[in-house]
């Protein structure tokens, strides 16, 4: 972070520095040039006016001595004076001995002066070994060839002046530079710190930390940027939190659904599944997302449904799993469409991106359907037997049986028995369906268990005595609490159990009715010493029309509904009914009823 800030600082500082150096260089260069030109122009003008003086007061060119002293006199102006003959010979020079001087015919100012009357040049003097500004004029003598009078002034002065200007310029620049460095250090440090804060903020936002930036009071672009970023982050945070709320809600709904659900992506890989799905396909606790659907759903029909949904066609089907206890499912595979913004207006805007497959368990529906079918078949069967008998004996009577004095009474008795069996059957069926659909009005009250048992025993006593069976109510423990029940219905349960006990107990047998407390319920028991019930039938005897020995039951006038009615009544009270029995060693029917609180 510190490196990044100083990086920005150095970049900005260096840029300023280079800019300053460039400006200074340019100023130095152009100022030098202008000063030099000005100086040369001034020197030219001075030398020109000297030339005018020289022209107005020419020397005696014929006399070498006079010429030399004229040159010396003219040089008092500060300029070097040289007189050169038309052929380049130096006739006089105020700064050098002419004898050692070379021919000057190749000097540019000499050439110009000879040609146009005036000549000028700025160059290094080999004679004096320094830079000079030369100004030369051609002097046409009245007699004899022309001569060139040349004036020169050294450039050293201008160089000194220039050096002075340059020194001042650089001094001032150095001060400006130091100031600029200081100011730019301050500025860029502040700038870098603010940029650093913005960078830190964007990194925070990238990892999901949407806490806002410190409010910037600055009104510059960086301040605007900070405010805009804050704004964006807070909007982003709101959007993300609403999206994640939405997602959590959907995930919670999908997870908690009883239906097994899985989402399959376009590559036929699992993208999501809920617990019910994992349980249905016996998946272990590892994460199976991104696994091929074919390795998880090992059923070709389901895979076919999924593939058809992946091509955009919703598909439904049914599935049965398991052999011993088959479970049935209705399976729906629906297409998930991806809406792409880029093709907002094109036709294939929605393309299949996956499939949602839902397994809805219908085992219970199938079971109930089966029960209904069995019930209808059983009822018709149960009704047909007495009806056929009634019909048969009625016809026998009509076809002369009435005149048969010996049998007609017996026939009519048979008809009456079957008719009363029909009546019992319809009564029981009616009772059962009333309880089943909840139409049987229940009047739950606190019921005294002892009283209930003794009245049930009393009512059954006659039937028991006829079969020479001893029927006893075992005195319940003192202080047995009351149960909360509909006394009439509970009485019916006891009556059904006692009827059966009497029915399936041979003469000289014994029946006992008892009750005891078990937790928050009273458990009633009707125990007999009868024929007993095989273990495998224990659950089934509570089903409608189920009988261990159908012929015997029918013969005894049983409808096969007694235990089914008892079970329904007990369960409607929130209790349970079960049997302990073995072939040949009697049966104990138990049922529990919750206590009255």
Residues that bind ligand ADP (CB under 6 A): 496, 500-501, 503-504, 528, 530-531, 533, 541, 546-549, 553, 558-564, 587
Q: Phi-psi bin for 574: left (phi > 0), alpha (psi -120 to 50), beta?
A: left
Measured N-to-C along each axis, helices 408-436 and 562-572 cross at an angle, to the nearest 10 degrees, of 20
Q: Phi-psi bin for 438: left (phi > 0), alpha (psi -120 to 50), beta?
A: left
Reported in sequence order, the residue ranges of 520-586 that DSSP labels E, i.e. its strands, are 521-528, 577-581
Q: How far is the CB of 497 from ligand ADP (least distance, A)?
A: 7
How far is it, in rounded angstroms, from Cα 487 to Cα 13?
101
Specify the residue, 547 or 573, whose C-beta has the smaller distance to ligand ADP.
547
Please check whether residue 559 is in contact with residue 431, taking contact to mean a CB–CB distance below 8 angstroms: no
How far is it, in rounded angstroms, from Cα 136 to Cα 138?
7
Q: How far apart are the first and last CA of the chain?
A: 74
Please check whether residue 590 is in contact with residue 525, taking contact to mean a CB–CB distance below 8 angstroms: yes
Q: How far is the CB of 469 from ligand ADP (least distance, A)?
A: 11
Name the token pair of 525.
């028991």
Specify the residue, 94 or 500, whose C-beta has the smaller distance to ligand ADP.
500
Please check whether residue 75 is in contact with residue 81, taking contact to mean a CB–CB distance below 8 angstroms: yes
Q: How far is the CB of 494 from ligand ADP (least distance, A)?
A: 13
Q: How far is the CB of 579 from ligand ADP (least distance, A)?
A: 8
Closest CA to 497 of 464, 450, 534: 464
Specify the residue, 266 or 550, whose C-beta has the smaller distance to ligand ADP.
550
Please check whether residue 579 is in contact with residue 533, taking contact to mean a CB–CB distance below 8 angstroms: yes
Q: How far is the CB of 496 from ligand ADP (least distance, A)?
A: 6
Specify the residue, 291 or 576, whose C-beta has the smaller distance to ligand ADP.
576
Specify the residue, 156 or 423, whose C-beta has the smaller distance to ligand ADP.
423
How far is it, in rounded angstroms, from Cα 366 to Cα 240?
45
Specify the residue, 150 or 567, whose C-beta has the smaller distance to ligand ADP.
567
- Backbone CA torsion sign across 252, 254, 255, 256: positive
Strand 90-93 vs strand 80-85: parallel, antiparallel, or unpaired? antiparallel
The 8-class DSSP code of residue 105 comes to T
Q: How far is the CB of 533 from ligand ADP (least distance, A)?
A: 5
Please check whether residue 136 is in contact with residue 148, taking contact to mean a CB–CB distance below 8 angstroms: yes
Q: Which helix (H) or strand (E) holds 13?
A: helix 2-56
Specify the residue, 154 or 558, whose C-beta has the smaller distance to ligand ADP.
558
Q: How far is the CB of 368 from ligand ADP (least distance, A)?
A: 20
Closest CA to 379 of 432, 420, 336: 432
Q: How far is the CB of 586 from ligand ADP (least distance, A)?
A: 8
Per-residue HEC secondary structure of 334-380 comes to: EEEEEECHHHCCCHHHEEEEEEEEEEEECHHHHHHHHHHHHHHHHHH
Specify the residue, 3 or 507, whose C-beta has the smaller distance to ligand ADP.
507
Specify the residue, 343 or 466, whose C-beta has the smaller distance to ligand ADP.
466
Q: How far is the CB of 526 from ligand ADP (least distance, A)?
A: 8
Q: How far is the CB of 558 from ligand ADP (least distance, A)?
A: 3
Specify the residue, 419 or 548, whose C-beta has the smaller distance to ligand ADP.
548
How far is it, in rounded angstroms, from Cα 23 to Cα 17?
10
Specify the residue, 478 or 551, whose C-beta has the smaller distance to ligand ADP.
551
Q: How far is the CB of 398 from ligand ADP (least distance, A)?
A: 32
Q: How far is the CB of 578 from ligand ADP (least distance, A)?
A: 12
359 beta partners:
260, 331
Show the CA angle centred on residue 206, arms to residues 200 and 209, nearest 5°: 75
Burial class (CB in 10 A: 0-12, 13-18, 19+), 246: exposed
Specify the residue, 227 or 554, whose C-beta has the smaller distance to ligand ADP.
554
Q: How far is the CB of 456 from ligand ADP (least distance, A)?
A: 15
Q: Tokens 């945070």 appear where?
A: 237
Specify the residue, 136 or 497, whose C-beta has the smaller distance to ligand ADP.
497
How far is it, in rounded angstroms, from Cα 380 to Cα 149?
157
């Amino acid at each position: 972070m510190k490196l990044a800030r100083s990086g920005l600082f150095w970049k900005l500082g260096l840029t300023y520095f280079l800019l300053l150096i460039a400006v200074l260089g340019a100023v130095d260069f152009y100022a030098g040039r202008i000063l030099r030109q000005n100086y040369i122009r001034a020197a030219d003008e001075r030398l020109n006016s000297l030339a005018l003086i020289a022209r107005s007061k020419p020397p005696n060119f014929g006399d070498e001595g006079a010429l030399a002293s004229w040159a010396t006199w003219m040089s008092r102006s500060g300029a070097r004076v040289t007189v050169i003959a038309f052929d380049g010979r130096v006739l006089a020079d105020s700064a050098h001995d002419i004898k050692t001087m070379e021919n000057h015919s190749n000097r540019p100012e000499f050439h110009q002066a000879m040609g146009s009357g005036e000549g000028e040049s700025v160059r290094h003097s080999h004679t004096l070994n320094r830079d000079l500004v030369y100004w030369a004029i051609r002097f046409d003598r009245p007699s004899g060839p022309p001569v060139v009078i040349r004036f020169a002034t050294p450039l050293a002065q201008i160089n000194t002046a220039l050096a002075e200007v340059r020194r001042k310029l650089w001094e001032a620049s150095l001060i400006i530079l130091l100031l600029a460095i200081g100011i730019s250090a301050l500025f860029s440090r502040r700038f870098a710190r603010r940029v650093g804060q913005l960078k830190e903020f964007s990194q925070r936002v990238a990892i999901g930390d949407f806490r806002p930036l410190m409010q910037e009071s600055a009104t510059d672009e960086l301040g605007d940027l900070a405010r805009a970023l804050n704004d964006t982050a807070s909007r982003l945070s709101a959007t993300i939190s609403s999206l994640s709320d939405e997602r959590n809600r959907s995930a919670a709904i999908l997870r908690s659904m009883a239906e097994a659900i899985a989402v399959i992506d376009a590559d036929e890989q699992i993208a999501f599944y809920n617990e019910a799905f994992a349980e249905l396909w016996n998946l272990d606790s590892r994460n199976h997302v991104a696994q091929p659907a074919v390795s998880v759903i090992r059923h070709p029909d389901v895979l076919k449904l999924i593939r058809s949904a992946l091509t955009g066609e919703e598909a439904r089907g049914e599935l049965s799993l398991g052999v011993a206890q088959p479970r049935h499912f209705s399976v729906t595979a629906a297409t998930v469409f991806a809406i792409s913004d880029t093709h907002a207006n094109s036709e294939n805007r929605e393309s299949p991106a996956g499939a949602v497959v839902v397994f809805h368990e219908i085992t219970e529906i199938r079971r109930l359907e089966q029960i209904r079918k069995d019930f209808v078949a059983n009822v018709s069967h149960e009704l047909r037997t007495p009806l056929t008998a009634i019909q048969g004996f009625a016809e026998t009577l009509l076809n002369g049986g009435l005149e048969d004095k010996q049998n007609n009474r017996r026939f009519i008795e048979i008809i009456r028995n079957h008719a009363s069996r029909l009546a019992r059957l319809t009564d029981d069926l009616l009772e059962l369906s009333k309880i089943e659909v909840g139409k049987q009005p229940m009047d739950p009250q606190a019921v005294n268990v002892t009283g209930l048992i003794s009245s049930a025993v009393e009512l059954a006593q006659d039937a028991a005595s006829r079969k020479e069976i001893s029927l006893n109510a075992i005195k319940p423990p003192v202080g047995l609490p009351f149960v909360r029940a509909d006394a009439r219905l509970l009485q019916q349960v006891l009556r059904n159990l006692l009827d059966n006990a009497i029915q399936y107990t041979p003469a000289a047998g014994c029946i006992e009715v008892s009750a005891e407390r078990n937790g928050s319920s009273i458990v009633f028991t009707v125990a007999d010493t009868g024929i007993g019930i095989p273990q495998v039938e224990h659950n089934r005897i509570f089903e409608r029309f189920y009988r261990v020995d159908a012929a015997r039951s029918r013969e005894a006038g049983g409808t096969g509904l007694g235990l089914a009615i008892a079970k329904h009544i007990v369960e409607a009270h929130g209790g349970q009914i079960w049997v302990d029995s073995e072939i040949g060693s009697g049966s104990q029917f138990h049922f529990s009823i919750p206590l009255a609180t």
